[in-house]
Amino acid sequence: MDQLLLKSLIYVLKKQIKDKQLPMNIMEVNHLTQMYRPKGTLLNFKKSSYKKLLTFLKHFETKGLFVLEETQQGVYDIVSIDRANELFKTFVAYETEPIEEIGTPNVVNPIGNIREVYKLPKALNFLIAGRNISEEDAFFTTAEITEFLTDYVSGNNLTSPTNKQMLKLDQNLFDGLFSVKKDKIEAGDEFEKRGVALRLKKSLLIYHEIEIDGFLERRKGAPKPITIHVDARQTKKFMTTVNGLNNFGIDPAQASTIFGKKFATSASTRKEKTGTSLLIQGDRAAQVQQFLKEEYVVPAKYIETTLGKGVKSAPKGSG
């Protein structure tokens, strides 16, 4: 699988991605790699030694094949390609899968599951001691972490014998969540269970997992939303700008083609320092939001809509 992934990547870098198209988000690169794989094959990072797309790409960055840049936390672009690299010289062309069978630029590729997960700071790793959890798998939901705390309190008999809502702060809990100077409390004192749980939640390191093109990506921080902004250009003329599509593995250029045809309007892209913006003629906020939710399956809580100065309530679809 390692060689198959590399072969497909080299094909895309050599034949499909031009320098003028850079920088390109790695999810777009992955989409092309899947599209132009050798005929009769399937690509699966989980069956490779790399396990993840980013690990795979970072490995070949060290080989000088290209340069990666983290444009936002957990979001990477390929910003340059070394076309004189030895790996290009040994490349042998092959027959790809028929494009119509595996996707076209006008086909929507919905995202998969997305959820927020959390990592314990080192000072609280005692909560999962003895559970045989690897560093790679040490990402949990809040419910799981609450269960770890409950098990720890129960296993160490920390519940107050006189008040079930209180617990005794052993040295581990105290060192991980409290400070003598700041909290004016010491190890051995009692504290509300609810308060301990709240402090624990606030101390967690937030990440999120998102499934794109069948691959699970884990990124630092909470998911950054897709923003839809409507500006007034002229009298009764509007422009809708969509940012953050790359955060969900949506290719802005592909979306531009899809939205342009779907809404029978002009749509284009513009490169910004923070990523690629999608520009759509007219007030298309409601339509874009609905399309993102229904077709790309982006949860509503990750879509934000704002109106610019002079835009009160533009008619739906007005230009």
- Answer left, alpha or beta for residue 172, where phi above 0 means left and psi between -120 and 50 means alpha: alpha
d(CA 51, CA 215): 9
Pairing of strands 66-72, 303-307: unpaired
pLDDT (tens digit, 9 = 90+) per residue, 61-109? 999 999 999 877 677 889 999 999 999 888 888 888 654 433 344 556 6
The residues that bridge with 216 in the sheet, in sequence order, are: 211
Q: Where is pLDDT greater, at 25 or 83?
A: 83
Phi and psi, residue 272, nearest 5° = -120, 170
The residues that bridge with 23 in the sheet, in sequence order, are: none
The answer to whether 243 touches 224, Cβ cutoff 8 Å, is: no
d(CA 294, CA 229): 19
The answer on pLDDT for 33 being more than 90 is no
Joined together, the tokens standing for residue 220 give 């630092």
Lowest-pLDDT choice from 32-36, 191-195, 228-232: 32-36
The answer on pLDDT for 316 being more than 60 is no
Phi and psi, residue 135, nearest 5° = -60, -35
pLDDT (tens digit, 9 = 90+) per residue, 50-62? 988 889 999 999 9
Query: What does the DSSP assignment read for 256-267?
Result: HHHHHHHTTS-E
- The helix/strand/coil state of 32 is helix
Domain ranges within the chain, ordered by starting residue: 2-102, 121-203, 226-307
The residues that bridge with 231 in the sheet, in sequence order, are: 239
Q: What rounded mean pLDDT belongs to the chain?
A: 86
Joined together, the tokens standing for residue 39 give 């005929």
The answer on pLDDT for 177 being more than 90 is yes
The class level of CATH for 121-203 reads mainly alpha
The answer to whether 40 touches 99, Cβ cutoff 8 Å, is: no
The answer on pLDDT for 30 being more than 60 is yes
- pTM for the full model? 0.61
Lowest-pLDDT choice from 212-216, 243-247, 269-273: 212-216
3-state helix, strand, coil in the chain (%, to 5): 40, 25, 35
**In the CATH hierarchy, which fold is given to the domain comprising 226-307?**
Translation Initiation Factor Eif1 (3.30.780)
Sign of the torsion formed by the C-alpha atoms of 49, 54, 56 and 61: negative
Give the H or E element holding residue 173.
Answer: helix 171-177
The residue to which tokens 């077709």 are assigned: 295
Preceding peptide of 299 cis, ω within 30°:
no
The residues that bridge with 190 in the sheet, in sequence order, are: 168
Task: State residue 148's pLDDT score.
Answer: 95
The answer on pLDDT for 140 being more than 90 is yes
Decide: residue 299, CB within 10 A, 0-12 exposed, 13-18 middle, 19+ buried. Answer: middle
pLDDT (tens digit, 9 = 90+) per residue, 272-307? 877 889 999 888 999 999 999 988 889 999 999 998
The answer on pLDDT for 193 being more than 90 is yes
The answer on pLDDT for 313 being more than 70 is no
Joined together, the tokens standing for residue 219 give 């990124």
Q: Look up the CATH number of domain 2-102.
A: 1.10.10
Q: Angle at Cα 255 formed by Cα 38 and Cα 316, nearest 5°?
A: 160
What does the DSSP 8-state code read for residue 119? E
